[in-house]
Amino acid sequence: MSYVFDSSSLIYLGKVKLLEKIVLLPGERFIPQEVYDEVLIKGSKRNEPEISYIEELIKKRQFVIRKTGINVINDPLLSDADKEVLSLAKETKSITIIDENYAKHLAKSLNIKSHGSLYVLILLVKKKIITKKQAVNYLNKMIKLGFYLSIDKYKDILDVINNM
């Protein structure tokens, strides 16, 4: 299965240096052109630390920048980047890795498989690419860096990880 990453997932998974583990999953990893522009071009102007890490993975062709040839949704509540994430996922039959709930809801209505950054964390444990302890450490680092998670959701994720 291939994956299409939105801005927030790319940023937070990049900040904690988890993207290099994701390349061990089968399938392609796409970054839509709009997401690239939003994250890497604007992020480099702000000297965001994860930018050089993400750029290196792109240079190694472990993540592929791609523009979609279709537009599956024209919703004014979505950013251009999120529209391209959904369109590219539909075009390539990929799973979206998107953290925004509204976009996930729209993905479902378009029959596009959609998950968030936490799904990736759990998938990496399930595939034995990282340990449970590492997953909890990555999760805690993401939260310290600004990734929002309610206390109830945090407890739920810990339960899922610990029961794997």
Chain centroid, CA 82 distance in Å: 12
**Four-CA torsion 14, 11, 70, 30, nearest 10 degrees:** 0
Cβ neighbours for 162, distance < 8 A, ≥ 6 positions apart: 132
What average pLDDT does range 129-138 have in this prediction?
97
CA distance 118 to 116: 5
> In what helix (H) or strand (E) does residue 10 lie, and over which residues does it extend?
helix 7-15
CA distance 137 to 114: 24
Share of the chain above pLDDT 90, in %: 79
> What is the pLDDT of the chain when averaged over all its residues?
93
Q: Read off the pLDDT of residues 40-52 as tens digits, 9 standing for 90 and up.
A: 888 888 888 888 9
Give the pLDDT band of residue 6 (cuts 50, 70, 90).
Answer: very high
Domain definitions of the chain by residue range: 3-118
Strand partners, 4: 30, 96
CATH fourth-level superfamily of 3-118 = 5'-nuclease (3.40.50.1010)
Cβ neighbours for 43, distance < 8 A, ≥ 6 positions apart: 11, 50, 51
Asked whether residue 132 carries a pLDDT value surpassing 90, the answer given is: yes
The pTM of this model reads 0.92
* pLDDT at 85 (0 to 100): 94
Q: Read off the pLDDT of residues 48-105 as tens digits, 9 standing for 90 and up.
A: 888 899 999 999 999 999 988 878 888 888 888 999 999 999 999 999 999 998 999 9
